[in-house]
Amino acid sequence: KVCRECHDPKQGEMRYFVSSDVMGIIDELGAELSKTTPTHEKVEGLFMGIGIAMCYKCHQVHGPAATVQKFWRKQLSGQSR
């Protein structure tokens, strides 16, 4: 179930990288940065929103798995840390 939330093409739109919700945040950021005086807090919040919606969730899931996989490969090949 967890994987299908992002990786199931049967669900329609894939929910990673640049899904429509993230594109909306990017558009909002572009509009804010186009202002004569963008609001620092607004820009910062939008960047954080992009990071959480686009990067953080995937890295939370895939980062630890990749680290363990790398460790196992070293162990199987007889290499030490």
30 or 3, higher pLDDT: 30
Asked whether residue 81 is assigned to any structural domain, the reply reads: no
| Domain membership of residue 69 as a residue range | 4-76
Q: Is residue 60 part of a domain?
A: yes
Are 18 and 54 in contact by the 8 Å Cβ rule? The answer is: yes
C-alpha 15 chain-centroid distance: 10
Asked whether residue 71 is assigned to any structural domain, the reply reads: yes
Contacts of 7 (CB under 8 A, 6+ apart): 14, 16
What's this model's pTM, rounded to 2 decimal places?
0.58
pLDDT of 51 > 70? The answer is yes
47 close to 22: Cβ distance less than 8 angstroms: no
Res. 72: pLDDT tops 60: yes
What gap in Å lies between CA 30 and CA 60, rounded to an integer? 27
Number of domains in the chain: 1
Indicate the SS3 state at residue 58.
helix
What mean pLDDT is reported for the chain?
A: 83
Q: Is the pLDDT of residue 1 over 60?
A: no
Q: Residue 70: inside a domain, yes or no?
A: yes
